[in-house]
A and B are shown apart, each in its own frame.
Chain A
Amino acid sequence: AQKVTQAQTEISVVEKEDVTLDCVYETRDTTYYLFWYKQPPSGELVFLIRRNSFDEQNEISGRYSWNFQKSTSSFNFTITASQVVDSAVYFCALSEAIQGAQKLVFGQGTRLTINP
C-alpha cells in the first residue's frame, strides 16, 4: 500500500534561517505523482507543487525549492530565508490511482513555526 512519512512533527526556527521538511514515500507504482500542500491557520489547503515520477529535476520557486530523489524515495522541501508568513502545517502527498480516479495519500504533516 502507498505510504507517506513526514518524520518531523514540528519544527521551530528563527526568521531568515533555512529549513528543510522531509518526506519519504512508499509505492509499487512506476508512475506516480507527489505533491506538497501548505495549510495556514485558516485551514485552507494551498497547493504548492506537483512532481511526476519521471521528472527528477529539482524545482525552485522563489524561496521554495524541492529535491526529488527516486533512489531514496524522498521528496524534500526547503524554504530559504524563512519568514513568519511561512508558519503553517505542510503536507506531502502521493497519488494512488484507484479505478481511473486519484486518491491522495497524505503524510501526517509538519508544523513549521517561524519565530521573529
Chain B
Amino acid sequence: DADVTQTPRNRITKTGKRIMLECSQTKGHDRMYWYRQDPGLGLQLIYYSFDVKDINKGEISDGYSVSRQAQAKFSLSLESAIPNQTALYFCPPSCLAGETQYFGPGTRLLVL
C-alpha cells in the first residue's frame, strides 16, 4: 500500500462554507491526484500535481482549488461548498504512468 492519510475521514458542512481536505503520503511519490466519486458513479479527476511547482486541472476542477505544500502533502479546497459536491474524495499518489494507484478509504463529504 502507498501509506496515504486523508483527513478528515468524514465531514458534514453547510452550503457556502469553505472546507479543506488534506492528503499526505509517506512513500515519496512525486505525483499526487485528487479524484471525486459521486454516489453510485465512477471516479473523476479533479486535479493532479507533478511536484510542488506543478499543478494541473483535471476534468472537473470548477469549484475546487489545490495546494501542494510539500512533496508529501496535497490539499483540496472547496471555496464555497454546494450540495452537488457531496461525494467521496480520494487522493491516490503514484510515480509513473501505468503504476498501480492505491486509493484507500477516502474522505466522505456531505454538503447540506
Which positions in A face B, CB cutoff 8 Å? Answer: 4, 31, 33, 35, 37, 42-45, 47, 50, 52, 91, 93, 95, 97-104, 106-109
- Distance, CA A37 to CA B101, complexed state (A): 10
A98-B48, A104-B43, A109-B41 as given contacts; A44 in contact with B103, CB under 8 Å: yes
- Distance, CA A60 to CA B7, complexed state (A): 36
21 residue pairs of the A-B complex, CB under 8 angstroms, read A4-B42, A33-B97, A33-B98, A37-B103, A42-B105, A43-B106, A43-B108, A47-B100, A47-B103, A50-B98, A50-B100, A91-B42, A95-B98, A100-B50, A101-B31, A102-B31, A102-B98, A102-B99, A103-B45, A106-B44, A109-B40
Instruction: Chain A residues near B98: list those with CB within 8 A.
Output: 31, 33, 50, 52, 95, 102
Chain A residue nearest to B98 in the complex (CB):
A33
Size category of the binding interface on chain B: 20 to 34
Chain B nearest CB: distance from A86 CB in Å? 19
A99-B56, A101-B48 as given contacts; A108 in contact with B42, CB under 8 Å: yes
Contact B45–A108 (Cβ < 8 Å): no
Contact indicator per residue, chain B 87-112, by CB within 8 Å of chain A (1) or not (0): 01010001011111111111010000
Chain B residue nearest to A89 in the complex (CB):
B40
A44-B104, A101-B50 as given contacts; A108 in contact with B99, CB under 8 Å: no
Chain A nearest CB: distance from B35 CB in Å? 8
Instruction: Chain A residues near B106: list those with CB within 8 A.
Output: 43-45
